[in-house]
Amino acid sequence: MKTTSISKKGQVVVPKTIRDALNIMPSDRIEVTMEDNKIIMRPFPQTKDVYGSFKTGGEISKEQIKKAISTQRSKKFINKSLQK
């Protein structure tokens, strides 16, 4: 188990051994949720990780993928907010 502290701005440093094991790089996104009174952090799929993995009738631009991901994040946030 690793421990870390939270800065005055609410920032948390993920230990290097964990970042390396999960291949988390600077500017990568992390999904943060609360489950059973615990903070859960998971690597969030990057656009580059999912690019080209969708079957479509044509080409999809990186911007279209980013927009779709952003839309889904917003929907998830709204749904969780409404459940409270």
How many residues does this entry show for the chain?
Answer: 84
Do residue 28 and residue 57 come from a single domain? no
Do residue 29 and residue 39 come from a single domain? yes
Cross-strand pairs, 34? 39
E strand spans, 1-84: 30-35, 38-43
Query: Torsions phi, psi of 47, nearest 5?
Result: -55, -40
Q: How many Å apart are CA 23 and CA 8, to the nearest integer?
A: 27
pTM (2 d.p.): 0.50
From residue 16, how far is each of 35, 48, 57, 65 by CA, in Å?
24, 22, 41, 29
Over the stretch 5-63, which tens digit does the pLDDT of each residue have?
A: 999 999 999 999 999 998 888 988 889 999 999 999 988 876 655 566 666 667 788 88
Domain residues for the domain of 2 are 1-44
Instruction: Quote the number of domains for the chain.
Output: 2
